[in-house]
A and B are shown apart, each in its own frame.
Chain A
Amino acid sequence: GDSVTQMEGPVTLSEEACLTINCTYTATGYPSLFWYVQYPGEGLQLLLKATKADDKGSNKGFEATYRKETTSFHLEKGSVQVSDSAVYFCALNPGNDYKLSFGAGTTVTVRA
């Protein structure tokens, strides 16, 4: 079935370091792909999305490109801040169902 696999954490970085969180997916159709972020004590909020192959989603300095050939949607940021400390979830909507499938989440801690 449709699923998402993302790199395990936790990830600990220093401020201004580069961040990459890998996400790969399995889907039979043409899914839309999402990155959600969960700050401590809060619910999830959409960080960025891409709805078709080669689309690039971007927000708050984060980027992810929908790569159909490698079935990937890796999240990247060139220079992280302490405020980026959160749990990041990759997710997909397969397009033929209601279900939003989430990865297990990656905890990122940025130290000053």
Chain B
Amino acid sequence: NAGVTQTPKFQVLKTGQSMTLQCAQDMNHNSMYWYRQDPGMGLRLIYYSASEGTTDKGEVPNGYNVSRLNKREFSLRLESAAPSQTSVYFCASSFRNNLHDEQFFGPGTRLTVL
């Protein structure tokens, strides 16, 4: 099993450009998440999908959109990138969306917006 995979690993954008970050999991998990990691701030939840067909906003959703394409895939889209979106983005998944379940993380996408 590959676990949680993310593409691309690195990306540089110019302000105003758009892009989609891809995430897939092969663990038959129901819930998927997108986080951003910034120095000194831990991880902050952008969006999550508790189950296939549902998505909800997290702590910092502005400037992002998501699509739960199917049970395996959950993509994050930046429609008009801004320098404030320079960050490392992590996708995660869990079997169920409850307090005991471990979340499994992908390797991350390092995004720089110039």
Contact = CB atoms under 8 A, between A and B. Distances in A.
Interface string B12-25: 00000000000000
Interface in B79-114: 90, 92, 97-100, 102-108
Interface in A19-72: 31-32, 34, 36, 41-46, 49, 51
Contact of A44 (B97, B100, B105): B105
Interface residues of A, number: 24
Contact of A99 (B40, B45, B107): B45
Which of the four size classes fits the interface of chain B? 20 to 34
Interface of B: 4, 31, 33, 40-45, 48, 50, 56, 58-59, 90, 92, 97-100, 102-108
A2 to B, nearest CB: 11
Contacts of A41: 107
B107 A43 contact: yes
Secondary structure call for the A interface: loop
Interface of A: 4, 31-32, 34, 36, 41-46, 49, 51, 89, 93-95, 98-100, 102-105
